[in-house]
Chain A
Amino acid sequence: MIEQTWDDVIDFMAVAKELLPEGATYSSCVGCGLCASGCPASGLFGMDPRRFINMAVQGLNEELSSTPWVWACTQCKRCAYVCPMGIDVSLLVGVARGGWPKEDKPKGIVRSCEAQMLDKSTSAMGLRSEDFVEIVEETVAELRESDARFAQINAPIDKVGAKFVVNQNSREPAVEPEEMAPMWKIFDYVGADWTYASKGWAAENFCMFTGDDAAWKEMVKTRVDAINDLDCEVWINTECGHSFYTLWKGVERFGLKADFETASLVSYYAQWIREGRLPVNADWNVNNLKFTVQDPCQLVRKSIGDPVADDLRFVMKALVGEDNFIDMQPSRSANYCCGGGGGFLQAGMAAERRAYGKRKFDQILATDADYVLTPCHNCHSQIDDIGTHFGGAYNVAHIWTLICLSLGILGADERKYLGPELAKINLPSTP
């Protein structure tokens, strides 16, 4: 008999009908293939977004429930962005992920989520609140000591009523605390009234990537509660993509009450430069080093859209010089995901992740850039990794590094992501 199972597995067509807007469900697919041709995950595990839809239409629910492709799709939503019918495949990729038995899910993602659940810090690297406070305090003390200009600098924690509350990716406090300093220096430079929250400060959320909505909600709730408690105006998300999306989207999706605005640090860089409060320029770039920028999908396409991509380019051009900035094609909301998103970096699927990243690598190579800047930690790691793997000669750096470099306040120990040609440029003078 024809084998057709109609129970016990996810009915993808039914879920699509429930979750997707009318006219953009899977039954609206015209098969044009714009999604598949623009998807860097196309071909991995024999799948692509169009096939995902076609298989759902054909009722191949068991296959869709079990294909490891759902962990190679970074849920970047480029397919939805280019789809003439507006069909979002990524939403059901998330549903499929959630349907996997926990023991079969990629362990790296599961463990990161579990680490986040351990403590109100929500850190995927298992850094507890008291550890974070201690590391920040120590690092501030070192900075005050080493640089007279910042002898009074502060990195407030749990300051009630500050204008901004800012989050911090765990990588810096856990592995490279000196990388926290450039952002503090920028806040100090513009005189921002800001604070960290000792709870929910971590700028990562792997629980969303496990497909476990309850865990995602718990993470966001911990953070929103902590931010609400501080009674601040604006929550500024650091140079990170998915930590913005996960909170911004999570508030809406789970109906949480957030007493604050959400904003990207990139938008504030742009605002402060426009206002003259961050008087950056490209004078330091005497050798006309070329720069490109990676638009984080989570921040641009999936959340704020082209306005933040415009801000990003405004900042980049101000920093490196109009002629030294070369955009990737396509870019902004149509940008390709680098392959570091969606938990792919932590999924233990290096061969597939790099195959995915090849498209990004080729895009970067076509710009001839010496540097790739990106306000996203996952993009940063992935683009660095594919550069090494495929033999690229570019460096990957944070934006805060370049801002401080341009302002002449970037310390010698804050240049680990810069090449040797920039090791001595614009070093702060020691009195």
Chain B
Amino acid sequence: MSNSGARVLETEVLVIGGGVTGAGVMRDLALRGVNCLLIDRRDLNAGASGGNHGLLHSGGRYAAADAETAAECRREGELLKQLAPECIDDCGGMFVAVDGDDEGFAQRFPDHCKTAGIPCEVLTPAEARQREPALPETVITAFAVPDATIDPFRLALENVSHAQHLNGSDFLPHISVEAFDISGGIIKTVQCRDLRSGDLVQIRAQQVVNASGAWALKIARLAGCSDVNLLYSKGTLLISNSRISNGVINRLRLPGDGDILVPGGTVSLLGTSSVTISDPDDFRPTVGEVDRIIQEGAQMLPVLNDTRFIRAFSGVRPLLMASGAADDGRKASRGFVLFDHEDQGLANFATIAGGKLTTFRLMAEKTVDLVARRLANTVPCKTATEPLPSGDAIRWTQPGLAARDWFQRADPTDLILCECEMVARSTVDKIVKSAPGAEDHMSLKAIAGRSRIGKGACQGAFCAMRVTSHLYDTGVYDSRDGLEQMRDFINERFRGVRPVSWGEQLPQMELAEILHCGLAGLDLPDRDETDGSS
């Protein structure tokens, strides 16, 4: 393809990677009056930002091994509870040891918390069970900590939406970086591809921020930088059909598989595994991991043996690897590093890597401090004091919200498209019209990423077809494209259901198969995909 047909976009700062860090960088820049363009090869939160527990760490998890990260988690967690309360369920948390766990480790826990400044309250086993009835009789030690949960999808949407409204900064999905045009130690143009249309997109920016998470190493290499070294640690999590615990329940031991159960509003998330992988583009949850997570988790919460899980998913932790460090994801630092790449001969490129969901704001602040200095912008960071604004197109990822909202309105003309989560037609319309990343022919996956569609027990069995039909009705889809979107979405959901297809979820999967294969024939190739002889 010739460059003459390429779209050319100009901005002050190009931010690569639509996770919460990139979204946070975008908003921080906009608050300092800097125009930026955020791009992602897929969509907002498509990587680790969307593939995690949604845990707003008190820091307790890292108190023993990494006091600095623990203290950072505590400070940032407290800030976020002030600035984005609508994204947070301040449910509290608990560290629990059961028979057979290392009692010495358990006894040292309060001291570690004290060092990191984390409030830690001793609970008797009876008190612990009173707070969390799902805990077994075998609890020996328990401490309450100020863990909370956060909705990373809403968090990213609010950051992007705020930046868009502040100064017209923009977000573009499905834009993949292919090459950097560098001359004189300056990135002049970033050559990108619009993966949907196949068109070349050239982006000219004064500064380029690499906030691409697990892909930060690849992006840095594309820019000729060899200083970013990441360890890819796959973590798999399971989602239960309903909420199991009131608050976060952590196993009081050195981090291992299946030792954190986190409420996700109306559901619970159990995880994780930690499996080192070589390629952040090639992973999926496996049956083996799922079995191990439940086996380990059930030692602390026997109820997990009888729990209906509706889906498994994996994320890739981009862990910073110090040179010579062991190849072990559990032991790698959860801290973050900002690379200015100046020793790599680049003056307008920065990479922010590592870190935690909980510390995304701080990561963005440090990054933008550097970028602003380079742009001679002296406006101070405002993200530590400026609350995150919500909006009617960006609040629908909150579990239970759609159901409550619909129930309150009880408007019979506003049909429910997704029954499990009770997502109404009007919600889909709002997202398609004005959520960050809204575009013509918006994908079903993108709509689902901005709502609870496909998140319930049926995992898209019904809503995929209903939402697609609605989008055809309203003209959002007008060609075979919509059916392709539907098939993509269903395939993506199936990946997550497959490893948990036993017990009560198995008939659910069979029903989905009847609908998708038996009724809609989605397992058959499209006629225009075949050679036409049929």
Contact = CB atoms under 8 A, between A and B. Distances in A.
Interface of A: 1-2, 4, 6, 13, 23, 27-33, 43, 45-46, 50-51, 54-55, 57-60, 63, 67, 84-85
A46 B406 contact: yes
Interface string B392-414: 00000011100110110011100
B486 to A, nearest CB: 18
Contacts of A60: 400, 403-404, 407
Contact of B457 (A23, A30, A45): A30
Nearest to B508: A30
B242 A1 contact: no
A46 B409 CA distance: 9
Contacts of B411: 46
Contacts of A2: 86, 88-89, 265, 398-400
Given A54-B420, A60-B407, A43 B412 contact: yes
Contacts of A63: 403-404, 407
B101 interface: no
A55 B408 CA distance: 13
Given A46-B411, A51-B422, A58-B422, 9 more contacts: A30-B511, A33-B419, A51-B419, A54-B403, A55-B403, A58-B421, A59-B400, A63-B404, A67-B407
B410 A1 contact: no
Interface residues of B, number: 37
A58 B266 CA distance: 5
For B246, B406, B419, B458, the residue with the greatest tally of chain A CB atoms inside 10 Å of its CB is B419
Contacts of B91: 4
Interface in B410-468: 410-412, 416, 419-422, 456-458, 461-462
Contacts, number: 91
A30 B416 CA distance: 17
B267 to A, nearest CB: 9
A31 B456 CA distance: 9
Contacts of B406: 46
Contacts of A54: 403, 419-422, 456
24 contacts: A1-B88, A1-B90, A2-B89, A23-B504, A27-B241, A28-B504, A31-B419, A46-B406, A46-B410, A46-B411, A50-B419, A51-B419, A54-B419, A54-B420, A55-B422, A57-B241, A58-B242, A58-B266, A58-B422, A59-B242, A60-B400, A60-B403, A60-B407, A63-B404
B89 A4 contact: yes
A46 B407 contact: yes
B507 interface: yes
B185 interface: no
Interface in B69-104: 85-86, 88-91
Contacts of B218: none
Interface of B: 85-86, 88-91, 241-243, 246, 265-266, 308, 398-400, 403-404, 406-407, 410-412, 416, 419-422, 456-458, 461-462, 504, 507-508, 511
A51 B424 CA distance: 13
A57 B457 contact: yes
B458 A30 contact: yes
A32 B512 CA distance: 10
Contacts of A57: 241-242, 266, 420, 456-457
A92 to B, nearest CB: 14
A29 B422 CA distance: 15
Nearest to A27: B308
Given A54-B403, A54-B420, A45 B511 contact: no
User: Chain A: interface secondary structure?
Assistant: loop
Contacts of A1: 85-86, 88-90
Contacts of A6: 246
B457 A58 contact: no
Nearest to A23: B504
Nearest to A85: B507
Given A31-B420, A31-B456, A58 B507 contact: no
A-B pairs with lowest CB-CB distance, top 5 = A46-B410, A58-B266, A2-B89, A31-B458, A30-B508
A13 B242 contact: yes
A45 B85 CA distance: 31
A28 B505 CA distance: 8
A40 to B, nearest CB: 15
Nearest to B81: A1
For B89, B90, B403, the residue with the greatest tally of chain A CB atoms inside 10 Å of its CB is B403
Contacts of A50: 419
A10 to B, nearest CB: 15
B236 to A, nearest CB: 22
A127 to B, nearest CB: 40
A29 B89 contact: no
A58 B452 CA distance: 12
A398 B242 CA distance: 48
Contact of B461 (A31, A45, A59): A31
A29 B457 contact: yes
Contacts of A32: 511
A31 B504 CA distance: 12
Nearest to B398: A2
Contacts of A55: 403, 407, 422
A27 B504 CA distance: 8
A46 B400 contact: no
Contacts of A46: 406-407, 410-412
Contacts of B246: 6
A63 B406 CA distance: 11
A262 to B, nearest CB: 36
B522 to A, nearest CB: 18
Contacts of B400: 2, 4, 58-60
Nearest to B414: A46
Nearest to A63: B407
A223 to B, nearest CB: 39
